[in-house]
Structure 1
Amino acid sequence: MGESGVPVIDLHEFPGQYEKLRRACVEWGCFRINRNIDVIAGSGYMAPSKVNPLYEALGLYDIGSSQAVETFCAQLDASPYQREVIEMYAKAIHGAAMDIARKLAESMGLNGNLFESWISQFRINKYSFTPETIGSSGVQIHTDSGFLTILQDDENVGGLEVMDPSGVYIEVDPSPGTLLVNLGDIATVITEFLHLVI
């Protein structure tokens, strides 16, 4: 368990972590991973809105597509160095997402290559809190509609909350050197179905 109580999965310890990964998915619906060394639909800027006045984002529709990454960089008028960094990051985070999805599938006895053709969206979120808005929600309470979300939280500022197995919201403290993996609605349905079948 991590400091926040959220289970921690070591991606370098498979297949030994399959049961822990499966339990984390069934019981928590989210887990942390150690940093691996080796956007909602559409791309572009999302401005603050009436529903989420403190939230804005920049998204890329599919980081697994080199063409989509190239178009994104062109739209940003990225310098050659910025392009190189964006392309390397996109490749690394897409690879991590596919690795996690494969291991998750295998932990449930499924073919690990089910997700290879799925789109991997990327989003950078910014929350514009002021002294008057500290303590309010950055975004409305929600579930993620996709399969899984990999979060790199600010290592100094917390605020993320998840529901624990008893239905109580708990704070997820920042944990340097880790990423938080949150199962989306699709993964939740798959894991719950397989839990009933197994």
Structure 2
Amino acid sequence: MANPIPVIDLSQFPASGEYDKLRLASEEWGCFRLLNHKIPLPLMAEMKIVVRSLLDLPMEIKKNNTDVIAGSGYMAPSKVNPLYEALGLYDLGSSQAVQTFCSQLHASSYQREVIEKYAGAVYEQMVDIGQKLAESLGLWSGFLKGWACQFRINKYNFTPESVGSSGVQIHTDAGFLTILQDDENVGGLEVMDKSGAFVPVDPYPGTLIVNLGDTAKAWSNGRLCNVKHRVQCREATIRVSIASFLLGPKEEAVEAPPEFVDSDHPRLYVPVTHEEYRKLRLSKYLHAGEALELLRIKS
């Protein structure tokens, strides 16, 4: 397996060296591949089949998947992203929200069972890796309790004419961290390294990709990298991915803990709730981390 991005093997924890690897990957890349994670491989395969069937539903059914927050419902192809569509769910940690999502899409009892199992497993994995990340920075990890989560299943309808173009524009994720079950057959995901060059993240079955977002950078007082990424069309085919987002506290503002602030590292950003920050990004059309600069504390 070629590994241009860092690889974190969860079976190696709690060895202290693994915490150092996790911290460095999060500071230098804001992205890493996760091995030996908590989501069973058969469940990943089942979920991929269910996701594909939901995304192939007629438009009139997919439109039942309405927003709770922006981007949490059905996203039809648009002028900006004409090859892309998605279904969404907010809040992944709520069994009632999962049931509502399933009802909107007329999911069968089998599909519901798979989605519920997957939601539980991926939520557990998000909290686990978030806790390990906090511990790698020397912090107690209980701060993740009750954080909001979002879930989005993505479909890219790549055509012969679209080869070489972008399936989704360059962006950062607004939340704290994202767990991505990427398409195990079709590549296209690229992340930006520190030099500004894009590095391909090629498919590798059975693994997960973790991306850190703008909230992680703000919470860490600038230590963690909010990775810019995009999806490129490499071949004329359908590409499907499953993204789960750990966003942030539902009501409290995100701010750097005192441990990250001192005379050499003054506080960089004003406290902000995830909802406030999400609205700021949307209103200013700033989707690649630039909105954080609007929150920067002037020295």
Provide TM-score, normalisation by structure 2.
0.62
Q: Show CA shifts across 1:59-88 (max 9, x none).
A: 111111111111111111212111111100
In structure 2, the gaps of 5 or more residues are 40-66, 224-259, 266-299
The CA RMSD over aligned residues, in Å, is 2.0
Aligned pairs for 1:23-42 (under 5 A) are 23-37=24-38, 41=70
Please give the secondary structure, in 2, of the residue aligned with 1:144: coil
User: Residue 89 of structure 1: which of 75, 99, 118 is its match?
Assistant: 118
Query: For 1:107 and 1:94, how far apart are their aligned partners in 2?
Result: 20
Identify the residue that residue 190 of structure 2 maps to in structure 1. 161
Displacement of 1:190 after TM fit? 3.3
Q: Does 1:180 align with 2:206?
A: no
In structure 1, the gaps of 5 or more residues are none
Amino acid at match of 2:2: E
Identify the residue that residue 123 of structure 1 maps to in structure 2. 152
**Aligned structure 1 segments of 4 or more residues deviating by more than 6 angstroms:** none
Identify the residue that residue 45 of structure 1 maps to in structure 2. 74
Asked if 2 retains the 8 angstrom alpha-carbon contact of 1:63 and 1:94, the reply is: yes
Identify the residue that residue 5 of structure 2 maps to in structure 1. 6
Q: How many residues align?
A: 196
Query: For 2:71 and 2:193, how far apart are their aligned partners in 1?
Result: 31
Please give the secondary structure, in 2, of the residue aligned with 1:45: coil
Query: For 1:37 and 1:148, how far apart are their aligned partners in 2?
Result: 16
Provide TM-score, normalisation by structure 1.
0.91
Q: Does 1:20 align with 2:24?
A: no
Displacement of 1:42 after TM fit? 5.2
Query: For 2:93 and 2:191, how far apart are their aligned partners in 1?
Result: 28
Amino acid at match of 1:69: V
Larger relative CO (CA 8 A, sep 6+): 1 or 2? Answer: 1
Query: For 1:146 and 1:115, how far apart are their aligned partners in 2?
Result: 12
Distance 1:153 1:35, change over 3 A: farther
Q: Which moved more, 1:127-136 or 1:28-37?
A: 28-37
